[in-house]
A = this chain, B = another copy of it.
Amino acid sequence: MDDEGAHLAAAYADCIQIGARNMQNYSLLKTVGRLRKPVLLKRGMAATVEELLLSAEYILSEGNDQVILCERGVRTWDPSSRNMFDLNAIPTVQKLSHLPIIADPSHGTGVRERVTPMARAAVAAGADGIIIEVHPDPNHALSDGAQSLFPHQFADLVRQLRQISEAIGRSISAPTARA
C-alpha cells in the first residue's frame, strides 16, 4: 500500500489496515495519520512491543488518534506454527499505552484447528477485540481458507467467548460481518 492506495481506501472503507510489512513504512504511517479514519496497525513480523508503540506515534503525531493495535503473531525459530502468537503483548501494551489492542488468531496460527483455542486465549488475556476469518466454504476460499472457520465453528466460538468475557469482567457486543 502506498499514499495513493491509502487515500483510495479511505474513500470507501471504514477502517484502514496497515499490514505487518508496512509497520515501519514511516511515510505511509504519516499519510494515514492525516486521514480521519480509524487505523488498524498490525505488529511487524519481528517488531518488539516498543517498536509497535513507536510506530503508532507516527500516526498519532499527525493528528489521527483513532489507532487500534493488533497482535498477529511474530517470527521465531519454531517451524511448528507459521507464527508465534505473542499474547503476552496484550497485557504489556495495556500497561504501557492507552491504545486498544486486538488479536488476529487466524494469521497468528495459520491453521483452522488452532484458531478457536487461540481466539479464546486472546480474549482471556484481555484483548480488546479479535479478528476472525470465517467462510461459508473455506476449502474453496480465494485466500486464507486453511485458517478460516466454518460458520458453525464461529457460532460455537462466539458462545465461548461471551462466557470467557464475563469470567474476566468484560462483555462482548454482537459481531460485525465484513463482506
Contacts and interface: CB of A to CB of B under 8 A. Distances in A.
Interface of A: 1-3, 5, 21-22, 24-28, 45-46, 48-50, 74-81, 84-92, 95, 108-109, 113-114, 117-118, 120-126, 160, 163-164, 166-168
Closest A-B pairs by Cβ, 4 of them: A46-B46, A163-B167, A2-B27, A124-B124
Contacts of A26: 21
Stoichiometry, as copies per complex, reads 4
B164 A124 contact: yes
Nearest to A126: B117
A70 to B, nearest CB: 16
Given A3-B3, A125-B117, A167-B160, A49 B80 contact: yes
Nearest to A166: B163
A64 to B, nearest CB: 18
B86 A78 contact: yes
Contacts of A166: 163
A80 B45 contact: no
Nearest to A93: B80
Contact of A92 (B27, B74, B81, B124): B81
